[in-house]
Amino acid sequence: MISKFLSGDGPRSRILAGMLAAIFVALALAPFLFPGTRPLDVAARICVFVLLVASYDLLLGYTGIVSFAHTMFFGIGGYGVAIALSKLDVGWSAIALGAAAAVAVSLVLSFLIGLFSLRVKAIFFAMITLAVASFFAILASQLSDITGGEDGITFKVPELLRSRNAAYYMVFGMALALFLALLRAVNSPFGRVLLAIRENDFRAEALGYRTVIYRTLANCLAAVVATLAGALYALWLRYTGPNTTLDFGIMIDILLMVVIGGMGTMYGAVIGATIFVIAQNYLQDAMKAFSEAMKGVPLLPDLFHPDRWLLWLGVLFVLSVYYFPHGIVGQLRARSKR
C-alpha cells in the first residue's frame, strides 16, 4: 500500500526510512507538536522547499542539467498569485486564475529556454539560465507598478486561509501530493529515459529517444512544479517580493539542499530541505553562542559569526560533491546494501 504511494521507489535503507517517517509525522502534526508562530513557519518553509528542491532534483539529479533559473519559476508562481489577489476580488477563483496564469507563463518560458539552449552543452544551458534569471530579477524590481518593486506585494487571502492551521495544512497537503506525483514521474518510463540521457545522452539518442524533447519536457515539468511551490509559499506568507522568491541566494540554497541531501534520489530533497531550513533558523543561535565563547581568539569569532553559517554549509557542499555525490541519502543506501 505504502509502496504503491511511493511508486515502488522506497527509501531502501532502514535509517533513511526512519528519518523520512519522523519528518513526515513531525510535519503532519506540526501545529500540535510545535505550537507557536516560528516553529509553524519553519515547518511550512520545509514543506515548500521540499517541493521546490524535489523539482530541481528532477533537473539536476535525474536529467543531469544545471539550471540557475529555478528561482525565476518559483518567483513567477509567487507573483502570479500575489498580483491576482491584489488586483482582483479576493477569493479562490483569483488564486486559481493567478496560479494558472503563472503556470502558463512558466511553461512558455521554460519551453523556449529549453529549445533554445538544451541542444548544446550543459555549461551553455547553465550560463543562459543564469543570465535570464538575473534579467528577470531586475525586471521584477523595475516594473514596480505591477510587482511592487523592491517592496513586493502584500495581499489578502480568502477567509479560510486566514487561520494559520488551515493555511498550513493546505501547504502541507499540496506539497505532499506534488512530491508523490514527482516520485511517480521519475519512476515512470519517462523517468527512465531521463536517467538514460543523464548517463549517456549519445546512446539514448541512438536508441531512438529524442534527447532534446525529453530534456525540454523535464525542464517544463520542473518549472511547473516550482511555479506551484512559489504560489504556495506566497499564500503562506501572504506576501511576495524579490527577496523571498527571486534572490540569487535562494538559488544557492536550493543547490545546497539538493546536493547535501542527495542528487537523483528525490528523498534527498526531503532530507536536504529539512536539515537546511532547520540549520538556517537554529544553527545561527548555536554559532552565536560558540562565537561569543571564542571571544579573544583571533579570527575564530569571525569565522563562527552567526551570519557566516553559509560558509560552513558551503564547505559541506564542496565536500559532498567530491566525496558523496549522492549526498546523505546515497550514503545511507550504500551502507544498508553492505
Partner 1 sequence: MTPAVVPRTDWIPPALLLAIALGGLALIGNPSTWVTLSVAGLAMGLLIFIMSSGLTLVFGLMDVMNFAHGLFIAVGAYVAASVMKFLSASVDSESFLVNLGALAPAMLAAAAVAGLLGLFFERVIIRPVYGQHLKQILITTGGMIVAEQLIHVLWGPDLLPLPRPATLRGSFLIGDMAIEKFRLVAVVLGLAIFAAMLLLLNRTKIGLLIRAGVENKEMVEAMGYRVRRLFVAVFVAGSALAGLGGALWGMYQESVTVAIGANMMVLIFIVIIIGGLGSVGGCFVGALLVGLVANYVGYLSPKIALGSNILLMVIVLLWRPQGLYPMNKQ
Residue 200 contacts partner 1 per CB under 8 A: no
Question: In the stretch 4-43, what mask flags binding to partner 1 with x, by CB under 8 A?
Answer: ----------------------------------------
CB 37 to partner 1: min, Å: 28
259 touches partner 1 (CB under 8 A): yes
Q: Which grid cell is 206? A: 541512438
- Of these, 26, 247, 303, 331, which contacts partner 1 (CB under 8 A)? 303
Sites for partner 1 among residues 100-159 (CB under 8 A): 116, 121-124, 126-128, 130-132, 134-135, 138-139, 142
List the interface residues with partner 1, window 40-69 (CB under 8 A).
60, 64, 66
- Determine which residue in the list 107, 252, 283, 294 makes contact with partner 1, applying CB under 8 A: 252
How far apart are CB 277 and partner 1 at their closest, in Å?
A: 17
**Closer by beta carbon to partner 1, 104 or else 122:** 122
Q: Is 317 in the site for partner 1 (CB under 8 A)?
A: yes
Binder among 202, 322, 337, 338 for partner 1 (CB under 8 A): 322
Q: Which residues bind partner 1 (CB under 8 A)?
A: 60, 64, 66, 116, 121-124, 126-128, 130-132, 134-135, 138-139, 142, 248, 252, 255-256, 259, 299, 302-303, 305, 307-308, 310-311, 313-315, 317-318, 321-322, 325
